[in-house]
Structure 1
Amino acid sequence: MTGDVYQDFFTELSDEHLSGVTYKNLLLKKKIVRYLDHKGKTTINHISKSLNISAPKTNALLQELIDIGLVKDYGKMETGVGRKPQLFGLISDSIYFLGVNVREHHVDVGLINFNEDLICIEKNIPYELENTESSLLRLCTLINTFIDRETAWKDKIVRIEINLSGRVNHQTGYSHNYFNFHDEPLNRIIRQKTGITTFIENDTRAKAFGEFHLNRIKNRDNILYVNADYGIGLGVMIDNNLHYGKSGYSGEFGHIPFFNNEIICRCGKKGCLETEASGRALVQSFREKLQSGSTSGLQHQYTLKDIKMSHIIEAALQDDMLAIELIGAIGAKLGKAVSTLIHLYNPELILFGGALASTGDHFFLPLQMSVNKYSINLVKNDTELKLSEFGDEAGVWGSCLLAKNRLLNT
Structure 2
Amino acid sequence: MTKAKKMTPSFFEEINDETSSGVAYKNVNLKKKVISYFAHIGNATIAELSKELNLSVPKITSLVNSLILDGLVQDHGKVDSTGGRKPNVYGLAPNSGFFLGIDVKKNHINIGLTDLQKNLISDFDQFPYLLSNDEDSLQELCLIINNFIASLPVPKEKILGIGINLSGRINYAKGRNYNLFHFHEAPLSKVIESEVGIRVFLENDSRAMAYGEFCSGTVNDEKDVLFLNLDYGIGMGVILNNQLYYGKSGFSGEFGHIPIFQNDIICKCGKKGCLETEASGWALLDMFKQQLRDGATSMVTHKGIPIDDLLLEDIIEAAHNDDVLAIELIAKVGKRIGKGIALLINIFNPELVILGGLLSSTEEYLLLPIKSAINKYSLSLVNNDTQIKFSKLGEQAGVIGACLLVRHKLLDLDTSLNAKPPKNTSFVYA
Indicate the TM-score class for this superposition, using the shorter chain for normalisation: over 0.9
Structure 1 292/80 Cα, relative in aligned 2: closer, same or farther at 3 Å? farther
**Matches of residues 152-167 of structure 1 in structure 2 within 5 Å?**
152-167=154-169
> What does residue 144 of structure 2 align with?
142
Q: Which amino acid aligns with 2:356?
A: G
**Matches of residues 249-260 of structure 1 in structure 2 within 5 Å?**
249-260=251-262
Q: Over aligned residue pairs, what C-alpha RMSD do you find?
A: 1.5
Deviation at 1:50, TM superposition (A): 1.1
> What does residue 393 of structure 1 align with?
396
Q: Aligned partners of 1:339 and 1:149: how far apart in 2?
A: 46
> What does residue 272 of structure 2 align with?
270
Q: Aligned partners of 1:362 and 1:256: how far apart in 2?
A: 24
Deviation at 1:268, TM superposition (A): 0.1
Q: Aligned partners of 1:404 and 1:284: how far apart in 2?
A: 40
Q: Where has structure 1 moved over 4 Å in runs of 4 or more?
A: 79-82
User: Is contact 2:218-2:391 (8 Å) kept?
Assistant: no
Q: Any idea what the Cα deviations from partners look like across 1:329-357, whole Å, max 9, x if unmatched?
A: 11110001101111111111000001111
> What does residue 238 of structure 1 align with?
240
Q: Any idea what the Cα deviations from partners look like across 1:355-391, whole Å, max 9, x if unmatched?
A: 1110110111111111111111111011101011221
Equivalent of residue 94 in structure 2, options 92, 95, 100:
92
User: Is contact 1:96-1:153 (8 Å) kept?
Assistant: no
Secondary structure of the structure 1 residue equivalent to 2:368: helix
Structure 1 285/245 Cα, relative in aligned 2: closer, same or farther at 3 Å? same
**Matches of residues 34-183 of structure 1 in structure 2 within 5 Å?**
34-78=36-80, 80-183=82-185
User: Is contact 1:108-1:121 (8 Å) kept?
Assistant: no
> What does residue 336 of structure 2 align with?
333
Structure 1 161/379 Cα, relative in aligned 2: closer, same or farther at 3 Å? same
- TM-score computed with the length of structure 1 as normaliser: 0.96
Q: Aligned partners of 2:329 and 2:255: how far apart in 1?
A: 21
User: Is contact 1:350-1:384 (8 Å) kept?
Assistant: yes
Q: Aligned partners of 2:65 and 2:341: how far apart in 1?
A: 53
User: Is contact 2:11-2:28 (8 Å) kept?
Assistant: no
Secondary structure of the structure 1 residue equivalent to 2:95: coil
Q: Which amino acid aligns with 2:14?
A: F
- The yes-or-no answer on 1:11 pairing with 2:13 is no
Deviation at 1:9, TM superposition (A): 2.2
Deviation at 1:79, TM superposition (A): 5.9
Q: Which amino acid aligns with 2:330?
A: I
> What does residue 369 of structure 1 align with?
372
Q: Aligned partners of 1:80 and 1:282: how far apart in 2?
A: 68
Q: Aligned partners of 2:82 and 2:282: how far apart in 1?
A: 63
Equivalent of residue 352 in structure 2, options 329, 344, 349:
349
Structure number with greater CO (CA < 8 Å, separation at least 6) is 2
Secondary structure of the structure 2 residue equivalent to 1:97: strand
> What does residue 226 of structure 2 align with?
224
Q: Any idea what the Cα deviations from partners look like across 1:190-219, whole Å, max 9, x if unmatched?
A: 110011000111100010001111127363
Q: Aligned partners of 1:214 and 1:406: how far apart in 2?
A: 18
Secondary structure of the structure 2 residue equivalent to 1:158: strand
Q: Any idea what the Cα deviations from partners look like across 1:74-100, whole Å, max 9, x if unmatched?
A: 111136454332111111311100000
Q: Aligned partners of 2:189 and 2:283: how far apart in 1?
A: 31
- The yes-or-no answer on 1:314 pairing with 2:355 is no
Q: Gapped runs of 5+ residues in structure 1?
A: none
Q: Which amino acid aligns with 2:117?
A: N
**Matches of residues 203-218 of structure 1 in structure 2 within 5 Å?**
203-215=205-217, 217=219
Q: Which amino acid aligns with 1:36?
A: F
Q: Which amino acid aligns with 1:116?
A: K
User: Is contact 1:101-1:164 (8 Å) kept?
Assistant: yes
Q: Gapped runs of 5+ residues in structure 2?
A: 1-5, 414-430
Deviation at 1:272, TM superposition (A): 0.2
Q: Aligned partners of 1:406 and 1:246: how far apart in 2?
A: 18
Q: Aligned partners of 2:11 and 2:298: how far apart in 1?
A: 56
User: Is contact 1:218-1:240 (8 Å) kept?
Assistant: no
Structure 1 120/201 Cα, relative in aligned 2: closer, same or farther at 3 Å? same
Q: Aligned partners of 1:390 and 1:307: how far apart in 2?
A: 27
**Equivalences, count:** 405
